[in-house]
A and B are shown apart, each in its own frame.
Chain A
Amino acid sequence: MEFFSDNIFLILIMPVWVCFIIASGIFLKLNISYKVTLMLTLLSSFTGLIFSGMLLKQNSLHTEVIESIFPWLSGENLNIFLGSYIDLTSCVFLSILMLISFIVQLYSYGYMKDNKDFNKYFIYLNFFNFAMTGLILSPNLIQMYIFWELVGAASYILVGFFHNDKETSKAAKRVFIINRIGDCAFLAGIIIFAYFSITYIKQPPDTFLAFNSIEDFRFHLLALTSDGFYNLILLLFIIAAFVKSAQFPFNVWLVDAMKAPTPVSALIHSATMVCMGVFLIIRIFPLLNNTLLYIILFAGLTTAVLCAFIACSRKNIKKMLAYSTSSQLGLIFTALGLGAIPAAIIYLVIHSFTKALLFLCSGVISKTFKTLDMDEMHSLRKSDFYLAVFWIIAALSLSGLFFGGFTSKEILIKTSSANIYVLILIFITSFMTAFYSFKSYFKIFEGEKNDILPVKEKTMLTALTVLSVFVIIPGLMFKASDFDKYCIIAVITGIAALFAAYFVYKNKKQMQGFLYNLSFNELYLPFVYKKIGCIFERVYAISDFTDKYIIDGFVYLIVRINTSFSKIISRLQNGNIQTYIAYSIFTAGVIISIVTLVYHAAAYAKGVSG
């Protein structure tokens, strides 16, 4: 067992090796076969899976923190360490990452087989795995920040993978820029932390911003600053978490991120990377006080309700899933805001599997119909029965009616049963969740016609099967004795939503009314963002003017002066040899006369003084 925690860096390095092997294959034009690429990538994530599984088993038996660090930057009163920090949280997150990576990589083979950039795609996937592993294993906030940025970069690269499409590259840019808000907040928080840490506290250097001594930090910091300022610092970290997890009002980037290939959406934008906000909050949880927890609770509930509301009227299947992800992460933040970390983690694990399954299904669906618009899809169940089963499993789990989702929803409801308002909002969210997931099922899979050619791909089917097993298994953990009145209400809500969805599907009536318009226009959020963008455009116009005419103007002025001066000088060099001779002899004469003059002056001065 020691072996796994001692050699944990192996799983950090292995994706990098695979990256290098595939990349050198591309550079040397070796034409590595797609199967070799797939095998290498699967090897690296499978190793990670074994490591994380073993560590999880070891850690769940007897909880302990295994930390190994080495110095990276050393200064007088600042030592920055890198290394690994393994506790139960990081084991759980690492296991999810490795498992879903493995499944998604397997699936990607079938999905990307016809793309000539297949090898490049796998390089990016491995790079993402490396960045995520580093993030999850980070022992302090500095390493976390480094890998936080790397993960953002990986997300940007993968969103813009089909960059020949102009819309896609624009969307990738938007994703990156909105993510920068969170990154900036994170960096600002770290800098303020570091300022206090270096100037006043004089901690032992190896615990600089480290997670193993983060409780002490609260004590020290509160002694130095007021409550308000303390909240403000931690709010920066919370903002970083909100941006990464696509919480309101930063949720817009997740919709743009849907331009990515579907397996990437499943891996990054539903299961692993967006959970890193939750991970950050769990890591800094000892620092949070009641005010901050209320902020998290409030933001989480707002996101949960609003995004579920928007998702109800999405026509694009991936956009619906994106809003659903935001909404479900909002519920996880609600659990965190209530202080229930175990509930949050359980909900997150099961949601990751469920949402990855939905995304992978939607990949197959979009390959079948060659579109993402749900209005153009119909009666897939008759030609692809297994896919319908997978979608039903995922929808039941997502809406909390059955399987893993049921277990996690019950735990969440039990956690929040003390607060009736939170409970009501959770019920509203789960009603809408069930509504849109079943509405999409009816739209895609039910229908009269039977003329669709299903996509049958062995690797994709395997991946879906494995993932659905992981969705089903957690449902078996639920004990019947835990059943209480709130659970019954939740189930009734879900079933009511199911019937509502069926009713809406059957009537095929175009929805009208204020609420539908609000939902269909995404709460007019894109409009508001555009308005904000216009304000910034004015600011940019000023800075653009300054840049163009003042800064560049100054540089161009110097250039002009130099150019005109050298034009005058270069007229001396007219190409006529005789002119050159005249110059040189003239110069020689000047030099000789100066030397003579100086010599005589010196001799005269010597004569006077001597």
Chain B
Amino acid sequence: MIINITLYHYLILALILFAIGFTGLVISKNLIKALICIELIMSAINLNFIAFTSFKNYIFLKGMVFSLFITAVSAVQSAIGLVLIYLIFKNRKTLMSEEIEELKG
């Protein structure tokens, strides 16, 4: 059985990826897990860009360029995120997000 892969398959895959990432971001107690889930969300967005580029606007490859940028930015972002998490761990000796809740009304 040959399945003709259309744009919607990509979009649904990206949606699933995003949903997994979002859910993980919200419910995971470990901050490193949350960081990984952010990466998932990023790749979902990347996938969206690439899908739209190849199916809709493949002449100028604008979306492809964007996906390159996003990859670069997400690398930087995860680096900074790791640093922050390291500092939090150094100060608090914990990575559990429930224990870092001083900023509240």
Q: Which residues of A contact B (CB under 8 A)?
A: 570, 573-579, 581-582, 585
Given contacts A573-B105, A576-B97, could you give 10 more A-B pairs where the C-beta distance is less than 8 Å?
A573-B104, A574-B101, A577-B100, A578-B27, A578-B28, A578-B34, A579-B26, A581-B25, A581-B26, A585-B22
Write out the residue numbers on chain B whose beta carbons fall within 8 Å of the beta carbon of A574: 101, 104
**Smallest beta-carbon distance A523→chain B, Å:** 67
Q: Give residues of chain B (71-105) contacting chain A, Cβ–Cβ below 8 Å.
A: 97-98, 100-105
**Smallest beta-carbon distance B91→chain A, Å:** 16
- A575 touching B26 by the CB < 8 A rule? no
- A576 touching B101 by the CB < 8 A rule? yes
A selection of 15 A-B contacts at a CB cut-off of 8 Å is A570-B105, A573-B104, A573-B105, A575-B100, A575-B101, A575-B102, A576-B97, A577-B97, A577-B100, A578-B28, A578-B34, A579-B26, A581-B25, A581-B26, A585-B22
* Chain B: CB-nearest residue to A579: B26
**Smallest beta-carbon distance A238→chain B, Å:** 65
* Chain B: CB-nearest residue to A566: B105
Contact of A578 among B25, B103, B105 (CB under 8 A): B25
Q: Give residues of chain B (8-55) contacting chain A, Cβ–Cβ below 8 Å.
A: 22, 25-28, 34
Contact of B98 among A570, A576, A581 (CB under 8 A): A576
Alpha-carbon separation in the docked complex, A585 to B27 (Å): 14
Alpha-carbon separation in the docked complex, A106 to B105 (Å): 66
Write out the residue numbers on chain B whose beta carbons fall within 8 Å of the beta carbon of A575: 100-104
**Smallest beta-carbon distance B36→chain A, Å:** 14
Write out the residue numbers on chain A whose beta carbons fall within 8 Å of the beta carbon of B104: 573-575
Write out the residue numbers on chain A whose beta carbons fall within 8 Å of the beta carbon of B27: 578
Write out the residue numbers on chain A whose beta carbons fall within 8 Å of the beta carbon of B105: 570, 573
Write out the residue numbers on chain B whose beta carbons fall within 8 Å of the beta carbon of A573: 104-105
**Smallest beta-carbon distance B6→chain A, Å:** 22
Alpha-carbon separation in the docked complex, A581 to B97 (Å): 13
* Chain A: CB-nearest residue to B103: A575
Write out the residue numbers on chain A whose beta carbons fall within 8 Å of the beta carbon of B28: 578
* Chain B: CB-nearest residue to A578: B26
Write out the residue numbers on chain A whose beta carbons fall within 8 Å of the beta carbon of B101: 574-576
**Smallest beta-carbon distance A606→chain B, Å:** 24
**Smallest beta-carbon distance A596→chain B, Å:** 15
Alpha-carbon separation in the docked complex, A581 to B37 (Å): 13
Alpha-carbon separation in the docked complex, A582 to B28 (Å): 12
| Residue from A573, A576, A582 whose CB has the most chain B CB atoms within 10 Å | A576
Write out the residue numbers on chain B whose beta carbons fall within 8 Å of the beta carbon of A585: 22
Write out the residue numbers on chain A whose beta carbons fall within 8 Å of the beta carbon of B26: 578-579, 581-582
Alpha-carbon separation in the docked complex, A582 to B103 (Å): 16
Alpha-carbon separation in the docked complex, A576 to B26 (Å): 10
**Smallest beta-carbon distance B98→chain A, Å:** 7
**Smallest beta-carbon distance A583→chain B, Å:** 10
- B22 touching A578 by the CB < 8 A rule? no
Alpha-carbon separation in the docked complex, A370 to B104 (Å): 67
Alpha-carbon separation in the docked complex, A217 to B27 (Å): 88
* Chain A: CB-nearest residue to B25: A581
**Smallest beta-carbon distance B31→chain A, Å:** 9
* Chain A: CB-nearest residue to B27: A578
Write out the residue numbers on chain B whose beta carbons fall within 8 Å of the beta carbon of A576: 97-98, 101
* Chain A: CB-nearest residue to B101: A575
The 9 closest A-B pairs by CB, nearest first: A575-B101, A575-B104, A570-B105, A573-B105, A582-B26, A575-B103, A576-B101, A578-B26, A574-B104
* Chain B: CB-nearest residue to A573: B105
Write out the residue numbers on chain A whose beta carbons fall within 8 Å of the beta carbon of B103: 575
**Smallest beta-carbon distance B39→chain A, Å:** 15
Alpha-carbon separation in the docked complex, A578 to B38 (Å): 12
Write out the residue numbers on chain A whose beta carbons fall within 8 Å of the beta carbon of B25: 578, 581
Alpha-carbon separation in the docked complex, A407 to B20 (Å): 113
* Chain A: CB-nearest residue to B34: A578
* Chain A: CB-nearest residue to B22: A585
Alpha-carbon separation in the docked complex, A574 to B25 (Å): 17
Alpha-carbon separation in the docked complex, A574 to B102 (Å): 8
Alpha-carbon separation in the docked complex, A578 to B104 (Å): 13
Write out the residue numbers on chain A whose beta carbons fall within 8 Å of the beta carbon of B102: 575
Write out the residue numbers on chain A whose beta carbons fall within 8 Å of the beta carbon of B98: 576
Write out the residue numbers on chain A whose beta carbons fall within 8 Å of the beta carbon of B100: 575, 577
* Chain B: CB-nearest residue to A570: B105
* Chain B: CB-nearest residue to A585: B22
Alpha-carbon separation in the docked complex, A324 to B27 (Å): 91
Write out the residue numbers on chain B whose beta carbons fall within 8 Å of the beta carbon of A577: 97, 100
| Residue from B26, B101, B102 whose CB has the most chain A CB atoms within 10 Å | B26
Alpha-carbon separation in the docked complex, A577 to B27 (Å): 11
**Smallest beta-carbon distance A361→chain B, Å:** 72
**Smallest beta-carbon distance B3→chain A, Å:** 29
* Chain B: CB-nearest residue to A577: B97
Alpha-carbon separation in the docked complex, A405 to B34 (Å): 103
Write out the residue numbers on chain B whose beta carbons fall within 8 Å of the beta carbon of A578: 25-28, 34, 97
**Smallest beta-carbon distance B45→chain A, Å:** 13
Write out the residue numbers on chain B whose beta carbons fall within 8 Å of the beta carbon of A581: 25-26
Alpha-carbon separation in the docked complex, A573 to B28 (Å): 19
* Chain B: CB-nearest residue to A582: B26
Alpha-carbon separation in the docked complex, A274 to B47 (Å): 96
**Smallest beta-carbon distance A41→chain B, Å:** 60
**Smallest beta-carbon distance A240→chain B, Å:** 58
Alpha-carbon separation in the docked complex, A585 to B22 (Å): 9
* Chain A: CB-nearest residue to B104: A575
| Residue from A577, A581, A585 whose CB has the most chain B CB atoms within 10 Å | A577
Alpha-carbon separation in the docked complex, A570 to B102 (Å): 14
Write out the residue numbers on chain A whose beta carbons fall within 8 Å of the beta carbon of B22: 585
Alpha-carbon separation in the docked complex, A570 to B105 (Å): 6
Alpha-carbon separation in the docked complex, A366 to B26 (Å): 86
Write out the residue numbers on chain B whose beta carbons fall within 8 Å of the beta carbon of A579: 26
Alpha-carbon separation in the docked complex, A582 to B24 (Å): 11
Alpha-carbon separation in the docked complex, A570 to B104 (Å): 8
Write out the residue numbers on chain A whose beta carbons fall within 8 Å of the beta carbon of B34: 578
**Smallest beta-carbon distance A393→chain B, Å:** 80
| Residue from B25, B28, B102, B104 whose CB has the most chain A CB atoms within 10 Å | B104
Alpha-carbon separation in the docked complex, A573 to B105 (Å): 6
**Smallest beta-carbon distance A386→chain B, Å:** 79
**Smallest beta-carbon distance B95→chain A, Å:** 12
Alpha-carbon separation in the docked complex, A579 to B34 (Å): 12
Alpha-carbon separation in the docked complex, A450 to B69 (Å): 111
**Smallest beta-carbon distance B87→chain A, Å:** 15
**Smallest beta-carbon distance A567→chain B, Å:** 9
